[in-house]
Amino acid sequence: MLPDLSSDYSLTPDQISNYRADGFILLRNVASSSELAPYRDVINEMTTEFAKNYAPLEQRDTYGKAFIQYSNQWEHSEDVKRFVFARRFAKIAAELMGVDGVRLYHDQALYKEPNGGPTPWHQDQQYWPLQGSKCVTLWMPLVDVSAEMGTMRFATGSQDIGYLGPLNISDESEQMLAGLIDERGFPVAFAGDMKAGDATFHDGWTIHGAPGNADPVRTREVMTIIYVEDGAIISEPDSESRVNDLARWFPDLMPGDVAASKLNPLVYKR
């Protein structure tokens, strides 16, 4: 039996208000090491196998060097599904956003290999056809990770800018958004060292990234889960990335529809 992840994780009013002001929050021990370990085993096995599809690190572009990316593992494993659908995580997302319910957008394992490159500054929601919707991403290490292995960095308060237009993760996004962060004076906050089961949650518009993995041996093993508020409406795609996301994550739906395809189950309702 895999550990049950339905129990509550209590948030304080200050934590909720800080998240909304800053656009992110670091929460400790969202899952205990004993709860997380069995899920880590299956996620790691699947991601390690998937990584065999990648070219050697030195042959990849900036995006490819940033991480091994394996999306929607829950479709392929009942064990991973139990983790991704965890009520505990979804309830945190709903409370931080201030909504009654949340649906799954998708999950992603993001493994930054030894000597892997940095993740350039970017906004997650620029990829998603969810223009007017509240979204939040959970980012959880599956093993203990040091800051030198590439934990998260955030431009504090940058979510208030909203959509900056199509700007995929790239050298260009790093340069342009670094200039914007400096121009607007957004303080840069670093998650620092994190234990397995700690988690950051960040708004879909928060500018964020991660340094490279300076560890020559250890992989930064991370699982992410993206949530969207229940009742969100799909927006008209204005970029190739959003056209692709509409087709992949909202099958059989169109702009103007409620974002509730078979791939977007309700994972928490107050």
Q: Which domains does the chain have, with CATH numbers?
A: 13-269 (2.60.120.620)
Sign of the alpha-carbon dihedral angle for 177, 193, 211, 202: negative
Residue 250, burial from CB neighbour count under 10 angstroms (0-12, 13-18, 19+): buried
Distance between terminal CA atoms of the chain?
Answer: 27
Question: If we measure between CA atoms, which residue out of 197, 98, 218 comes closest to residue 138?
Answer: 197
Rounded (5°) CA angle 249-250-254: 145
| pLDDT value of residue 79 | 98
pLDDT (tens digit, 9 = 90+) per residue, 195-227?
Answer: 999 999 999 999 999 999 999 999 999 999 999
- Distance from C-alpha of 223 to C-alpha of 140, rounded to nearest angstrom: 5
| pLDDT value of residue 161 | 97
| pLDDT value of residue 129 | 98
- Distance from C-alpha of 92 to C-alpha of 201, rounded to nearest angstrom: 9
Q: Where are the beta strands (DSSP E) in 4-100?
A: 24-27, 68-71
Question: If we measure between CA atoms, which residue out of 159, 164, 190 comes closest to residue 177?
Answer: 164
| pLDDT value of residue 86 | 98
Give the 3-state secondary structure of residue 202.
strand
Long-range contacts of 241-247 (CB under 8 A, 24+ apart): 241/126, 241/127, 241/166, 241/168, 242/127, 242/128, 242/129, 242/166, 243/129, 245/127, 245/128, 245/129, 246/129
- pLDDT, averaged per 10 consecutive residues of the chain (270 residues), comes to 96 98 98 97 97 96 96 98 98 98 98 97 98 97 98 98 96 98 98 98 98 97 98 97 97 97 98
